[in-house]
Chains A and B, each alone.
Chain A
Amino acid sequence: MSIDGILMIAWYAAQPWLWLIAVLCIALVLSLWLGRHRHGPTYFGLWPLSVMVGVLAMLLAPALTNSQLRYVATWPDLLLLAVIGISAMLYTWLLCKNWLRQGN
């Protein structure tokens, strides 16, 4: 399948979820903007929290798609699950980093 074809299908697949993507982007931008003046070292719990959210996303992803964790078997399955977990972890970290600072 051509790259053009894959991108076109990805665009069609994303369309029903544009509202969610927009909500997540707005939440992130607002969080970074409103918290930009907050300084100080980040709360030590930020990383464990981000990792927990990432792991939770990995555990829930198969169930949310009418599947089961035990069916995640091939290396592309594992890679996809890892991408989901890392994305959720990074998003959580970026969303919370300005609000979980010591001394604020």
Chain B
Amino acid sequence: MNQVPSLPLRRKLLLSLAAGATLASPAGLLAKPLYSKARIVILGAGAAGTAMANRLRRSLPSASITLIGARAQHHYQPGYTMIASGLWSPQKVLSNTGQWLSKGIDWLPEDVAVIDPLQQQLNLTNQQQIGYDLLVVATGCQLNYHQIDGFKPELIGQHGIGSVYAGPDGAKATSEQIDALITQGEGRALFTLSDTPIKCAGAPLKMTFTTLSRLEKSGQREQFQLDFFSPYHNRVFAVPTYNDFVLKRWQEQQVGFYDQRRLTGLDASAKRAWFQHSDGTIQQEDYDFIHVVPPMSASDVIRQSDLVWQNGSFANDWLEVDQYSLQHRRYPNVFGVGDVIGTPFGKTAASVKMQAPVAETNILAYLSGQPLTARYNGYTSCPLITSIGRAILSEFGYEGKLMPSFSFIDPTEESWLVWLMKEQMLQPAYNAMLHGKV
């Protein structure tokens, strides 16, 4: 292992701490302010980066907080499924990044090009160099559409191709392709799943369910064949309770299920896709509509840095952090939050809501020279839409343990109330999270 900059840095930072500084409260509560002159840099201006910037601005009033992220528009990504299901317009999920940031946060609308954790230095795409005392990595997921032969993101919205992950416009184009399929009066729709960790793992399932709803509403369900292709053995979702529910429901709804098949390529103009079976054989499938879930990873700048996992199932693809403390395992002055981290679960906005206070508390503890006591339990949540108008509130954590937030909501029962939460309450909860209020 290379020289770790943590101890000298720690001593330096400790000197700048006021003697009477109080440590943050446990995770889940708002942290008490701490005096520190640390230079804190947050990479990524999405949900996780924004929430962390607002939290750290409040809890470290004397520190320098710099947020680095080029995207001027903020995307409410949990709304993509609503757009791709024909229920929302793209405008409903768009806002300005700047409007979510508290005063005193220096936002640099650039992307990072190189991370040097040994020198504690960043090179930005505009050639600017920035040093840091503490780094929070929240750069999100990278969609690796290029790993599917013959596929380009520009194809989404053409030739019967959709992908809910491809941003608000991509989600709208996906909905339009589903409309075109229905107008066609008959046909075959394929739904795929990637063999990498993906953000909002319920989204491919939701797209299948909402397409079924739309077909049923059109009165032509019998004219269409829907097939789901999963790279896993008899599995479309990591938690057995929900996996079994989905597979049973699809059987009732006559959705074909093909497991151990990974999408490897497609010919858009011929409307033909190729899947690789687990035994290596290639299978060709024709379609009228295909919903593509791309392989995902951390962004290339993370993958090319020394911050990436060096071994194990997340090696070379995801940020190496301790799955409980969210602190980097080799660089103690680096923390990770959001989709970028290599942990068993935790790639939803609901995960960020739980991760942000944990990371904040542990950052304050680190700056104070205290042990890191806050723990992220892997909590993630997904209102699993099973039809347009009803959903299951799936909440779980590490090892697939169910973690229901509300005792009165059965985590295995379809409900209008849960749909209402998805449709009406989730975005306000997300907004409160961005402000660091929950």
Q: Does B98 contact A (CB under 8 A)?
A: no
Task: Mark B423-438 against chain A: 1 for CB-CB distance below 8 A, else 0.
Answer: 1110011011000011
CB neighbours (8 Å) of A1 from chain B are 405-406
**Inter-chain contact B432/A12, CB cutoff 8 Å:** yes
Which of chain A's residues have a CB closer than 8 A to the CB of B406?
Answer: 1
Query: Do the beta carbons of A68 and B415 come within 8 Å of each other?
Result: no
* CB of B416 closer than 8 Å to a CB of A: yes
> In the complex the two chains form, is B423's CB within 8 Å of A66's CB?
yes
Within the assembled complex, what's the spacing in Å between the Cα atoms of A65 and B422?
A: 11
Chain A contacts with B in 50-96, Cβ cutoff 8 A: 62, 65-68, 71-77, 80-81
Whether A62 contacts B389 by the Cβ 8 Å rule is yes
Q: Are B405 and A67 in contact (CB under 8 A)?
A: no
- What is the interface of chain B, defined by CB distance below 8 A to chain A? 28, 87, 387-390, 405-406, 408-410, 413-417, 419-420, 423-425, 428-429, 431-432, 437-438
A–B complex contacts, Cβ < 8 Å, 13 sampled: A1-B405, A9-B438, A13-B424, A65-B423, A66-B87, A67-B388, A67-B416, A73-B413, A73-B415, A73-B416, A75-B408, A76-B408, A77-B417
* Chain A interface size range: 20 to 34
User: How close is B219's CB to chain A, nearest CB, in angstroms?
Assistant: 15
Contact call B438/A8, Cβ cutoff below 8 A: yes
User: Hey, which chain A residues are within 8 Å of B431, CB to CB?
Assistant: 12
A6-29 residues with Cβ-Cβ distance < 8 A to B are 8-9, 11-13, 15
Q: Are B437 and A74 in contact (CB under 8 A)?
A: no
Q: What is the total of A-B residue contacts with beta carbons within 8 Å?
A: 75
Contact B28 A74 (CB under 8 A): no
B77 to chain A, nearest CB (A): 18
A5 at interface (Cβ–Cβ under 8 A)? yes
- Where chain A touches its partner, the secondary structure class is helix
Chain B neighbourhood of A66, CB < 8 A: 87, 388-389, 419, 423
Establish whether residues A67 and B429, one from each chain, have CB atoms under 8 Å apart when the complex forms. Answer: no
| A77-B438 contact, Cβ under 8 Å, with A1-B406, A9-B428, A62-B389 | no
- Residues in A with CB closer than 8 Å to B429 are 9, 12-13
**A2 / chain B contacts, CB cutoff of 8 Å:** 28
Q: Which of A15, A67, A75 contacts B419 (CB 8 A)?
A: A67
Residues of B within 8 A of A15 (CB): 428
Contacts of B410 in A (CB 8 A): 74
Task: List the 3 closest A-B pairs by CB distance, nearest first.
Answer: A67-B389, A12-B428, A13-B428
Does A9 lie within 8 Å of B432, measured CB to CB?
yes
A66 and B425 CA atoms in complex are apart in Å by 14
Residues of A near B28 (CB, < 8 A) are: 2
Which B residues lie within 8 Å of A65 (CB)? 389, 416, 419-420, 423-424
Which A residues lie within 8 Å of B388 (CB)?
Answer: 66-67
| Docked CA distance A14–B284 (Å) | 51
Q: Are B416 and A72 in contact (CB under 8 A)?
A: yes
Q: Which residue of A lies closest to B410 (CB)?
A: A74
Residue among A8, A62, A77, A80 with max Cβ neighbours from chain B (10 Å)? A77
* B429: nearest chain-A partner, CB-CB: A9
Minimal beta-carbon separation of B409 from chain A (angstroms)? 6
In the bound complex, what is the Cα–Cα distance between A56 and B76 (angstroms)?
A: 33
Q: Known contacts being A9-B438, A71-B387, A71-B390, is A76 close to B417, with CB within 8 Å? A: yes
